[in-house]
Structure 1
C-alpha cells in the first residue's frame, strides 16, 4: 500500500501483530525514549487486530486512525498535569475505548455498539487508505485533522510534531491539507500549526517548550548543539531546549535517565561540561510538568538567569495560545 506519506509494505507480514512501524527518527541521537518504538508497535498491533475483527465497512478516523498509524492519541497524552490546558471543545459520553469511524452524510450514521460515528461532508477519497487486510483509515494529515475537536490545543501540537518525528507527515503536509480542506476545528489546527516546530524529540519536550512559551520566555532552540562541548566519544553535547544567547539549557529527564547508570553518567558529564562553559542547566521531570507552581518556579529561574545578563527585572507572563501563535 502506498500513498502520499510513504510506502508501507504490510503484505509481507503473515500476522498483524508483527506490523512494523517504520520510524527512523527513533534512531536519532536526540531521542531519549528508545522504548517508545516497541510500545507504539504493540499499540498498532492491538488496534489493527481489533479493527480487523470488527468487520465494519467504515473508514476509521480520530484516535482509532492515529493508533493504526502508530502515533500518540489524545488519550495517550492525557494526564494529571494536563488539567491546566484548554478542554476539548466537544465533550462526549461515548466510552473512551470506542472505535471512531467517519461517514460523509448524516444519513449514513447508525447506532452500533462500541462505535462512535463522525460526519465529514467534505471528506475526499484521496484522504483514505486501505491496508492489506481490508481495514480502512484516514491518511495521516486527515487523521490529525479528525481529532481537532476532541483534543486540547497542546495535544494537537504534540500529535502534529509526532507525525513529523515519525515520518508520517511533515508540518508542511499538515498545513497544505488544512488549507485545502473544510472540516470542524480547522481554525484550531491552523493555530496549532503556527506553534508546532520541527525536530522535537518527544511529546514531553514539546509540552515543556509550549508551557514555557505560554509563560512568556524567549523562544527556545530545539536540540541545540553546544559548540566546543563533547563526550569522550567526541559526540557533541546537545540540549533539549536552549536559549543560546543567555546560555540557558533545559532537558526533560524521563525515568531512564535515573534508572540507567550509563545514561546517568552521561548526563552528569554533560552537565559538568556545560557548567564549565558558563551554562545554566535545568533538569525537568514529570513531577514538574504535573505542577503549575513548579513550572512557574522554573520559568522564573530562567527569567532570573536572563535578567542577570540584561539588567532588567525578571518576570514571567500568562499568555494564550492565540498570543504565542501570532508571535511565532
Structure 2
C-alpha cells in the first residue's frame, strides 16, 4: 500500500476481504468480497417515483420542439438553435451550473448581421463564428439544432470545468446512441473525433478550458452522476477508471454481458452508481442483486454510490477513501489526497510532468 495513504479511525472500515495483503496483485478464491445489497424496500404509494432520465429528456425535448417550431413559423423560415436549446432538442442532459436560462430559446448565427430574433415567442440570439464547420441536426422542417460538438464548445464559457467534463461525457453518449450521428463509429472513435474536432476549431471564447476538459472526458458513460462519481475519484488521486467495463466471462442468465459503471479491472474493484430506480424498481433491484452476487463469485469488490455520496465534499471524500482503500489493499500504488484537487490543477501538474518541469 502507498505509504501516503491515510489510516482511518478504528472501526470505520471492517470490510477487508480475508486473504488480502497490502501488496496483493490479484484476488484468490478465498478473497471474494462484495458490498452487501440493502433489502428491497418498495416505494410508498404516496410518493411518486422519479421518471427515468430518458423519459425526462424525451418530455423536455417534446415541449422544447413545440416552442422552437412556433418561433420558426412566426419568423417564416427554418431556425438554427444552439446553447442549452440544442442540448434539449438532442436529448442531452443539461449541466447543473450553467449560467444560461435553459427555458429561453437560444438561436445561433455566424455574425451580427445574420442574427435571428423572434418576438413571440422571444428568442435569445448568439454568435458562433465557427458555424460554417458545423454539421447541424435537422429536427423537423422548421427546427435545426447546432452540431453537438459545437454546442459543447459554445457552452464552455457558461459553466464550471467539472460540469463541462460531465457535459462532454453526455455529448459523446448522445452521439453514440444516434445512428445518424455516430455513422457506424465506435464509442472510442467518436471520442477521438470529438477531441480532434474541438482541437481544430479556430480560437473561440473558453477554448483553453475546452482543451483542459478534453483530458478528462470519457466515452461509455450512461449518466451525469456516473461522470460526477468518476471525477470525484480522479480528484482524490485514484487511478483512472475504465467506464462501462464489460466483465470477461460474466453474463446474466439471458446471456447479456455484465458491465460496471467504473472499474479498475487489474484489481477487480468497481463502483456502481445506483439512482433511485435501482431501489424503487423491483425488477431492477433483483437484477442488481443477481449481478453483484455473480461478481462476488468472480472475486470483484463492488462499491455502491448513490446521490447521497455526491451530495457534498465530505460524502465524496468518504466514497473516494473507500474505493482507494480497496485498491490499495489489492496492490494499487497511487497518491491519494485528503482533499479534492481541482481538475485544472491536475491538468497543470500533468503538463508539467510531461515536459519535465519542476
Equivalent of residue 103 in structure 1, options 109, 134, 142 = 109
CA distance in 2, matches of 1:312, 1:159: 30
Matched residue, 1:240: 261
Query: Does residue 313 of structure 2 align to residue 292 of structure 1?
Result: yes
CA-CA distance at 1:50 after TM superposition? 0.1
CA-CA distance at 1:186 after TM superposition? 1.4
- Structure 2 gap ranges (5+): 1-49, 183-189, 352-358
Equivalent of residue 322 in structure 1, options 340, 344, 349 = 344
**Superposition pairs for residues 87-126 of structure 1, below 5 Å?**
95-106=101-112, 114-124=122-132, 126=134
CA distance in 2, matches of 1:256, 1:161: 21
CA-CA distance at 1:145 after TM superposition? 1.6
Please list the CA deviations of residues 155-184 of structure 1 after superposition, one character each: whole Å capped at 9, or x if unmatched.
Answer: 322232223222346223322332232321
**Superposition pairs for residues 164-243 of structure 1, below 5 Å?**
164-166=172-174, 167=176, 168=181, 170-182=190-202, 183-243=204-264
Aligned residues: 281
Matched residue, 1:307: 328
TM-score (normalised: structure 1): 0.74
CA-CA distance at 1:309 after TM superposition? 3.5
CA distance in 2, matches of 1:206, 1:124: 31
Matched residue, 1:137: 145
Matched residue, 1:146: 154
Task: Give secondary structure in 1 for the equivalent of 2:320.
Answer: helix
Relative distance call for 1:314 and 1:52 in structure 2 (3 A) is: closer
CA distance in 2, matches of 1:172, 1:311: 28
Q: Could you tell me whether the CA contact under 8 Å between 1:128 and 1:138 is conserved in 2?
A: yes
Please list the CA deviations of residues 44-85 of structure 1 after superposition, one character each: whole Å capped at 9, or x if unmatched.
Answer: 2211110111134653110011112222222xxx2xxxxxxx
CA-CA distance at 1:127 after TM superposition? 4.4
Matched residue, 1:7: none
Larger Rg: 2
Query: Does residue 91 of structure 2 align to residue 70 of structure 1?
Result: yes
Relative distance call for 1:226 and 1:115 in structure 2 (3 A) is: same
Q: Could you tell me whether the CA contact under 8 Å between 2:232 and 2:320 is conserved in 1?
A: no
CA distance in 2, matches of 1:189, 1:262: 40
CA-CA distance at 1:223 after TM superposition? 2.1
Moved more, 209-218 or 267-276: 267-276
CA-CA distance at 1:294 after TM superposition? 1.3
CA distance in 2, matches of 1:132, 1:110: 18
CA distance in 2, matches of 1:309, 1:129: 47
